[in-house]
Structure 1
Amino acid sequence: SRPWVGNSTTGKLVMLLHYFEAMRQRVQQGDRLATTVSWHRLSARPIEWTASQQPLAQVTVADLGATMDGAKEALRVDFASKFLGGGVLGSGAVQEEIMFAASPELIVGRLLNTMLHAHEAVLMMGTEQFSIPKGYSGSLAYGGPYRDTTVVKGGMRQSYIVALDAVDYTRHPQGKDAQFTPLEVRRELTKAWAGLNVSHVEHPVPREVATGNWGCGVFGGDVALKSMIQLVACSESGRAMRYFPWSDRRVKAHLPLIIGALHSQRVTVGQLASFLLQNVQPGDVYQQLNNHFGLNLDLLPPSLPASR
């Protein structure tokens, strides 16, 4: 259980070994390991986004450096691969792989789910976090044991995670600018909607969504565009959004301003979706929003911060 062991692969292995040691100790202490963990495959039909009259959701933006580990009372978004778990059992060491290594029960979902299609997501409920991950990507390491205090109710830990696989635009034949086309925006809206519209699930799924720079970083997604796509999906599903910008100072500074101004102008889901599907162009999406809706905000020029 020595912290900060080796490279990222070693770090994941130590987290897995810690899980088995923790379970061994529980069995020795008489724990029957009777809590439930479940996976629900979700799907969605495309909807007419531009016709929606839903108001935009309430949004809070977390501090720089904060992670979703501190939002266990929310529905947390797994920035997934289309094959659940991604490279958790290989060389992968970004958001999804870190989440699965710290909460190894999630790995079972790899046996239960085939490749996710564009209209599908997976809801994972009841899992427990066992390890503290330290670092990211090549610097990932085991940082010690984690005591998960999430409430157990009705035989299930009240932990809710939804896997949403974004398009990898670093491999798109049309390059990263393809994500601004109506076809690609609609695909990501449908994907987010599949995972967040969970009112039909017979469990008390939290009304707040914890998310962040979904599909950005190694997938080449535009952070501002993705934040607006997620806002539309959260709003249509009637869920608040808690956004974790990680190290993106511009998102931390500008997203609250943009949201506040859109609320002041009573912009609806349909109006924001219309902008994303009909008007958005490659470039500074926040400034495009500022101009399109006449928000009159003084925004900093875009930079190139690290995203994940």
Structure 2
Amino acid sequence: MHVLCCISHDSELIAALLACSFFCLFPEVGRRLKHLQGINFDELFWSLYTRQCMKQESKIRCIVHYFERVCQCMPRGFVSFERKVLPLEYNPNYVSYPEAEYWAKSTTPLCSVQVHSTGVIEDQPGETLEVEFADEYFGGLTLRHGCLQEEIRFMMNPELIAGMLFLPRMDKNEAIEIVGAERFTLYTGFGSSFQFAGDYLNNKELESYMRRRTRVVAIDAIPRPGRRQYKPDGLLREVNKAFTGYLHQCKHQAGTLPSSASGSQVVECSERLCIDHEEKKIGVATGNWGCGVFGGDPEVKIMLQWLAISQSGRPFMSYYTFGLQALQNVNQVVERIGLQEMNVGELWSKLVEYSTERFSRRTKLGFFSWLITSHSLPPIE
């Protein structure tokens, strides 16, 4: 298990690290043994010779555009990378990795929900915690052939790539939060249709620790879960993973870290680096986490995220459906759950009951239809 830590680099150092990656200067031997991603660009360059070269060319154009921008005017400020950990051992002085009973007994009210059928997470107005649908290895296939939500986010905000150098694979009780990574590019498309679409000027201001007010949290879902996602351990794993990412770690940490500084690298106690985070109520902008190629049930996943966001004390969930047909009625379902004044524990119990029936094949209904028909909620018009 890894320990809670937060590392901050200034933008100039990050640019230097990315230049070394671009020219393939980092030694790669032994990185996988340490559960670290490959950090050089050689596989990305090699992928230009594959059949899907258009998206790969666009990925390289995003990186080259980043270098053009920083050579014209080096950004000022810092980017922090925080490994968020919920300890597996119980301790009454801080929040540890919850068991199912924790969720079943919660009386926390459900937070408000805003649903968007169009738009994207990174364009959410104001300051929010923006969810990155991560691989367990931070960055996923960014420097290889991948071009889904995580990889596209890393192309828009190339400073995120620096974290691949030193952030090992996430365990089930870990997430990674990045504050301050600047966005440099516009894009169109998704997957094989991804294309670089020009320059983007980031107008988000710097906060007191000289980081841009862009907050990204990386949480990895269970890949291709199949029926396991309806088992108690599958539900618990996913809700706890989201909870780890959304919780204010600095408020509930198990201890503090020593503070030190060396040149442009700063290692700070997590509590210091998120004082501003605590002073304001920052909501969560998310979407179909763990769905799509990961194969998760979108009706279950959105409810699990709602539970985790509410339990972590966030004021709202801003959810982008990306036009997914399975979620076309989510607004009405959220409204009806609100009319019943359900809390976290009650909604969790409904999910567990439904998932038990779904796993045993006693129902083939989706969660929304099951909830409406089985629990006397007003029907969806």
TM-score by length of 1: 0.88
> 1:21 corresponds to which residue?
68
Give yes or no for the alignment of 1:163 onto 2:218.
Answer: yes
1: CA distance between counterparts of 2:166 and 2:78?
A: 15
1: CA distance between counterparts of 2:85 and 2:248?
A: 10
2: CA distance between counterparts of 1:149 and 1:163?
A: 23
> 1:71 corresponds to which residue?
124
* CA-CA distance at 1:203 after TM superposition: 3.8
Tell me the SS of whatever aligns to 1:288: helix
Specify the code of the residue in structure 1 equivalent to 2:230.
Answer: F
2: CA distance between counterparts of 1:179 and 1:203?
A: 36
* CA-CA distance at 1:278 after TM superposition: 3.5
2: CA distance between counterparts of 1:132 and 1:106?
A: 16
> 2:20 corresponds to which residue?
none
Residues 80 and 166 of structure 1 are in contact (CA less than 8 Å); yes or no, is this contact kept in structure 2?
A: yes
* CA-CA distance at 1:6 after TM superposition: 6.0
Tell me the SS of whatever aligns to 1:22: helix
Query: What does 1:34-49 correspond to in 2, within 5 Å?
Result: 34-44=76-86, 45-47=97-99, 48-49=102-103
> 1:302 corresponds to which residue?
none
Tell me the SS of whatever aligns to 2:337: helix
Q: 2:276 aligns with which of 180, 197, 204?
A: 204
2: CA distance between counterparts of 1:25 and 1:262?
A: 52
Which is greater in Rg?
Answer: 2
Instruction: Give unpaired runs (5+ residues) of structure 2.
Output: 1-51, 87-96, 251-270
The number of residues matched between the two structures is 283
Q: Against the structure 1 CA distance between its residues 246 and 114, is the aligned structure 2 distance closer, same or farther, given a 3 Å change threshold? A: same
Deviation track 1:175-203 (CA, whole Å, cap 9, x = no partner) reads x1221111100000110010001252524
Q: Against the structure 1 CA distance between its residues 51 and 292, is the aligned structure 2 distance closer, same or farther, given a 3 Å change threshold? A: farther
Specify the code of the residue in structure 2 equivalent to 1:159.
Answer: T
Residues 40 and 124 of structure 1 are in contact (CA less than 8 Å); yes or no, is this contact kept in structure 2?
A: yes
Higher relative contact order, chain-length normalized (CA < 8 Å, sep 6+): 1
RMSD: 1.7
Residues 182 and 276 of structure 1 are in contact (CA less than 8 Å); yes or no, is this contact kept in structure 2?
A: no
Query: What does 1:137-286 correspond to in 2, within 5 Å?
Result: 137-154=191-208, 155-169=210-224, 172=225, 176-198=226-248, 200=250, 201=271, 202-205=274-277, 207-239=282-314, 240-251=316-327, 253-280=328-355, 281=358, 283=364, 284-286=366-368
User: Sequence identity of aligned pairs in percent?
Assistant: 31
Instruction: Give unpaired runs (5+ residues) of structure 1.
Output: 28-32, 300-308
Give yes or no for the alignment of 1:111 onto 2:193.
Answer: no
> 1:303 corresponds to which residue?
none
